Structure 1
Amino acid sequence: MEVNQTNNTLYYTDKKLRDPVKTLDKNAFLQIMVAQLRYQDPTNAMDNSKFIEQMAQFTSLEQMTNLNTNIEKLYTLQQFNQASFLIGFKVTLQNGEQLLTGTVEKATMGENGVKIWVAGNPYTLEQVTAVERGTPDESK
């Protein structure tokens, strides 16, 4: 597993990295365990250690899911903090093939992620290619 430097400019994108239809969630995991218990052979009951092992796996899965959710929230807040810092700064943005320059007016956080607003239009932080300290007259 490759680990990037902390100052690397590699950004996480808002794209889904996996197809949720093809992954098992905690409800599916519980359904599998209940089915195993329901359809086990009564003459050859399930080994208690295997049941405890599966419960431990379930607990571990649930904790990893909670951790992932918290990390995603932390990432969003960190991105919003970065966007807020850019208010009043002059930025250059990559918009398709075009480079745009303007002063960041505001930062917003919503369902579509964190956005900075330049000339009345929203942009993502990933579109920022350069930042310059603006003068007070430019931000008006």
Structure 2
Amino acid sequence: MTTITGDFATTQMASKDVAAKNSQDSLGQAAFLKLMTAQLKYQDPFDPVDNQAMVGQMAQFSQVAGISEMNASLKQIAGGFSTSRLSEAANFIGRSVLQGGDTAYADAQGRYRGEFTLATGADNVSVEWLNTAGEVVHTQQLGKLDAGKVPFELISQDEAGNPVDVGPLTARITGAAPSTLSVWLPVMAVESSSTGAEAMLVTPAGNVSAASVKRIG
């Protein structure tokens, strides 16, 4: 698995070196012609290789060579896509993404943020923040809310106004039943997936797919 925090040139160069080595170790057309010439040279004159068998060998080699070249081309194309995705996803580093869930993590400014959706309005809505022990550490009264998306935020700072990370906090909505609940997660790094098909964003809550992100902020 490849992890990047800004530059992926080293990884790209290593991939090219491996591809070059693989091409040197494979059987090329010149080597096949040498083997075929040796076979004709040392064959039993009283029991020569059948013409059809020789043609069959050549056809089989051509087919294998064609498949190998096609696989090499597809790998090159896939590698280009993977590199492009990583390059684009690298723009997420240092920012936060909105992801479905209820556990938020502090960003660089000490902000715990989230968003929920109400299908219908409610009169007395509040957000309770719970620590990892399940204790309510803070309650925010939001009051009467109309239907729609409702953002919420908790700022954790010391007396001097410096951000303080108190660990993950779980948001619990009371007074209403939200249809969706999402939280903002800070992105620390980007890495490729095991298949190389998509870029994964490294967050305190774990890796999330760049394609699953609702918003970036």
| Bigger relative contact order, structure 1 or 2 (CA pairs below 8 A, ≥6 apart) | 2
Larger Rg: 2
Normalised by the size of structure 2, how large is the TM-score? 0.34
More helix by share: 1
Could you state the TM-score of these two structures normalised by the residue count of structure 1?
A: 0.50
